[in-house]
Each structure stands twice: as C-alpha cells, then as structure tokens.
Amino acid sequence: MDSKTLILALVPVILAGVLIHAVNASIQKTSDGPRWWLAGTAAHGIGLGLISLRGFVPDVVGVVIGDILAAGGFLILLEGVARFAGQRVPHWQLGALAGLVVFGFPVFTWAVDIAALRFAIFGIGVIVPCLLMLPYLTVIGHRDGLPGVRLLRYTIFLFVIALAVLSSSILLFDPDLPSVLAPSQMMALGILFLMVVETNLVFGFVLLSAGRSASVLKQAALTDHLTGLPNRRAFEAVVNESFLSSPAAVAPAAIAVFDVDHFKQVNDTYGHDVGDAVLQHVADILKSAIRETDHVARLGGEEFVALIHSHSSVTVQDVAERVREAVQDHPFRLDGREIPVTISAGLVEVTDAHPTLTGLFKRADAALYRAKDAGRNRIITAAA
C-alpha cells in the first residue's frame, strides 16, 4: 500500500480523535488542557489531509502549509499537556520550535527542494515536543495517578525511537526521496506506526482527564468544604499511616483536639455566616501555626484536631500552646470591630506502640472537657 493511501486512511483515525477530544473538552471545562489537545489534534489532522492532496493542490498548500500544520499540531499538544499540569511551556522553547517548523519547510521546498530534509524537520518538530511533555506528565502523575501517564510515556518513547530511526534511515539510505508520498517501504511502515501512535495519544489524553476527575472527587471527599482543611476521614488515614511508618515508641507524638470557645454565642450574636467566617479564620491560623511535619484537620462543628510530633527540645505541649496563643493573638475582625476568639484543647500523648484512634480521641475529649470546665482558653494534657 502506498504512502498516500495510508495517510488518507490515517485521516479518519484523527477525525475520530478530534470528536473524542471535543467531547472530553466539553466535560473538562475547568482545565485548558483538553481544549489544546483538541486544537492540536485538529491541526495535525488538517495538515495530514493537505499532505495527502499533494499534486491536486498548490505546493504552498499541500507541501508547506500541510507540513507546518502536521508538525505544529504537536506543539499545541505540548502546550495542552503543560497547562493540564498547571504550568506553561517556556516561550523560548515554543518560539524555537515554531521557528524551525514555520521557516524550515518553506526553505526546503522553494529554496532547496529536498524531501528528506523536510521529513527530518518534521521529525524534529514532533520528537522534541513529545520529549518535552515528559516532565509535565511526571507532575500530572504525582497529582492524579499513573494510568494515563504510563500509556503516554510508553507511546512517546516508542514514537520517538521509531521516528528517529525512520528520519535517519531516509537521510542515510534514501536522501533523494522525491516526496513522502513516493513509494517507500520505510515511509509506509512509519505511517502505519503513526496510526497506532495517534490512537494511543487520544486514549492517553482521555485517561489523563479521567484521572484528574477521579483525583478531584477523591480530594473533595477528603476535604472540609468550609475551611479547606482535611476532614476526619482524611485525618484518620494520615494518622494511621503515620503510626504504621513511625511507631510512637520511636517518634513521640500527640493528638490535640481544639474547640473554639463560646462558639454558640458567636452564632447567636452575629449569625451563622459570621460563625462560618470565624471557623475559616481559626482554620487559617491553625494551618499557619502547625509545622509541616504535623497535620491538622476539622472534625466537625467548631472542633479541630491535630497530630503533633515532638522534635528535639520542642515538646508537643509547646506546639499546642503556640497554636493556642496564635489564635488568641489574632482576633477576628468584622466591620472594623475585633471579635476575640480563643480555643481550648485536650492533648493526649501517644505512648503505645500500636495506638488506636478511638481510644486517643476519647482521652483527648475528656481532657478538652476539663479545659472547658477550668475556664477555657487553655491546654489540658490527658493523664497517662
């Protein structure tokens, strides 16, 4: 089968990819990535369609514009992957690759008509963007999971190797190739391989979107919607993992349950909207006061919880006291007025080699009630 027929057979595959990307982009409205994948796949498909029409359309269309769009589509795909990862491709990288594509094809069409060099430029214009996708895929994998990332990585590695071998073979063994549409077994194999690559790329990008959706849903299930802190389920998972990896006998730790003092009075006096704002205010202070090695979450209502670790001369009591003072020293401001906010806490040190959260919470709650009864705005440590 000749190259022209194979390229024509590839166009429907790309059209199907365009439709899939269009549906995906309509679903994934919170990310720019799918829209860029749609644009890149469409540009690449239009370019291949124009290439297949060489001889029926002017060379400026079938050769120059066709090659520019076919290779340039991968630049657009690269930008889409970067945006999906929450980043942007450096302008100098895009500019250098775009310059090679936009100026390279006309030069080796009109100034020097060498099809082998045009294909080499096509190879560089595709290989480099594919390789530049890899760091962004790593970021996406850490954030959303690996299924789509793995498929795209394997596809990119195979595609890069195959395209590099094909481009080198044409330059070394068939430098006088009159056109990519000329009968050539190497070119035919390359186009057949491109069909597989195009299909894998489409499904790989769709898997990235699915992974992102699953990650967002999982994060929502583990996050308190009001404060943005982890919820109780997330906290329990983190604590259990921490206890398994660092038993209490090796890494001293404590559970602190914090409760906002007189919170019902705040709701009754100022309304529930202000009460919610106070909880957000306290949550922000807790996040800033807790160290990176510790963990804080919202249990529900006006209660928060933290896993605190002891480090060198800093005891868990020191950390809990610092948190209490931070809340006390930062009153909530409402319409120019200051509303004093304080917290009480029950602290329970983890001394068992295999502690249970149920028992720790029970002891911390008992200590919290003692702190309330003792006048609030204080830390009480549970008895060993």
Catalytic residues: 302
CA distance 349 to 369: 17
Nearest to 63, CA basis, from 108, 123, 11: 108
Selection from 189, 198, 132, 197 nearest residue 165 by Cα: 189
- Long-range contacts of the stretch 325-329 (C-beta < 8 A, 24+): 326/285, 326/288, 326/289, 327/282, 327/285, 327/286, 327/289, 328/377
